[in-house]
């Protein structure tokens, strides 16, 4: 049940921007170095998942085990390559309708926050030029418990000073929908209804809200 939306909290990867392709290129490169192939289907399992958990899934796919030290080094190498990709991003990579929808709701007094597992979120927002569209940014550097734990969204609500019941989360990952519901917030799935079954409603992308609510005016 979605109450009046006083704050909107957005996941980053898959909602505002499609960084999954860059994560994939970097993980694939790491897998190759370790001597195995990593497919796009395997990559689906990494969406919304923390960096270290992603590495564990990758190693499981390759049938490898590494020491904790080697794991830390491997995750850092992957991140170096990933950062090379994202520092080349620009505003053209913002997903359709995302910036417009953010401007639209902000103009109507709705507070906005980012709630992402990524430690690279601030860099990505800077590259896209949309940092000013968020009143709060809660990312992987600020929280210790990964989605489906509600920590990231509860912290965002706290930073915005809005009660959870008046927040709506926009998420493309099942674990993120679960986290939003556990936080007592409304949950809008961005993606396919058959995957995001628990969401209060599911849209194909933020562009759809601009059409549904006829908020086409230039902002």
Choosing from 8, 9, 16, 54, the residue that interacts with ligand BG6 (CB under 6 A) is 54
Are 123 and 141 in contact by the 8 Å Cβ rule? The answer is: no
Min CB(145)–ligand BG6 separation in Å? 14
Pairing of strands 7-10, 111-115: parallel
158, two tokens: 């706290």
Distance CA 73, CA 190 (A): 33
Choosing from 172, 174, 179, 199, the residue that interacts with Mg ion (CB under 5 A) is 172
What's the maximum distance between 2 C-alpha atoms anywhere in the chain?
55
Tell me if residue 111 falls in helix, strand or coil.
strand
Choosing from 47, 100, 111, 127, the residue that interacts with ligand BG6 (CB under 6 A) is 47
Closer to Mg ion by Cβ: residue 161 or 193: 193
Length of the chain as a residue count: 219
Candidate segments 101-109, 113-121, 148-156, 195-203, binder of ligand BG6 by CB under 6 A: 113-121
Catalytic residue check, 42: no
Annotate each residue in 56-95 with x if it binds ligand BG6 (CB under 6 A) or - if it does not, as one string: -----------------------x----------------
Does the protein bind ligand BG6 through residue 174 (CB under 6 A)? no
Q: List Cβ neighbours of 128 (8 Å cut-off, separation of 6 or more).
A: 16, 17, 89, 90, 91, 93, 94
Closer to ligand BG6 by Cβ: residue 19 or 166: 19
Q: For 136, phi and psi rounded to 5 degrees? A: -145, 145
Choosing from 8, 14, 134, 188, the residue that interacts with Mg ion (CB under 5 A) is 14
**Binding residues for ligand BG6 (CB under 6 A):** 12-13, 23, 46-51, 54, 79, 116-120, 140
């Amino acid at each position: 049940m979605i109450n009046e939306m006083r704050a909107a909290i957005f996941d980053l990867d898959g909602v505002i921007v499609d960084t999954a392709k860059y994560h994939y290129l970097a993980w694939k490169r790491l897998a190759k170095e370790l001597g195995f192939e990593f497919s796009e289907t395997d990559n689906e399992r990494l969406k919304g998942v923390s960096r270290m958990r992603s590495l564990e899934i990758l190693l499981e796919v390759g049938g490898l085990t590494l020491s904790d030290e080697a794991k830390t080094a491997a995750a850092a190498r992957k991140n170096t390559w990933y950062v090379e990709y994202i520092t080349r991003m620009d505003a053209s990579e913002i997903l359709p309708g995302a910036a417009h929808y953010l401007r639209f709701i902000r103009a109507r007094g709705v507070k906005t926050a980012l709630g992402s597992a990524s430690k690279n979120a601030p860099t990505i927002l800077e590259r896209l030029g949309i940092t000013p569209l968020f009143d709060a940014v809660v990312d992987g550097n600020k929280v210790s418990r990964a989605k489906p734990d509600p920590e990231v969204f509860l912290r965002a609500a706290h930073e915005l000073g809005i009660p959870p019941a008046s927040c709506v989360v926009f998420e493309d990952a099942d674990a993120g929908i679960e986290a939003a519901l556990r936080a007592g917030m409304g949950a809008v799935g961005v993606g396919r209804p058959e995957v995001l079954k628990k969401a209060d409603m599911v849209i194909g992308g933020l562009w759809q809200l601009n059409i549904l609510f006829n908020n086409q005016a230039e902002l």
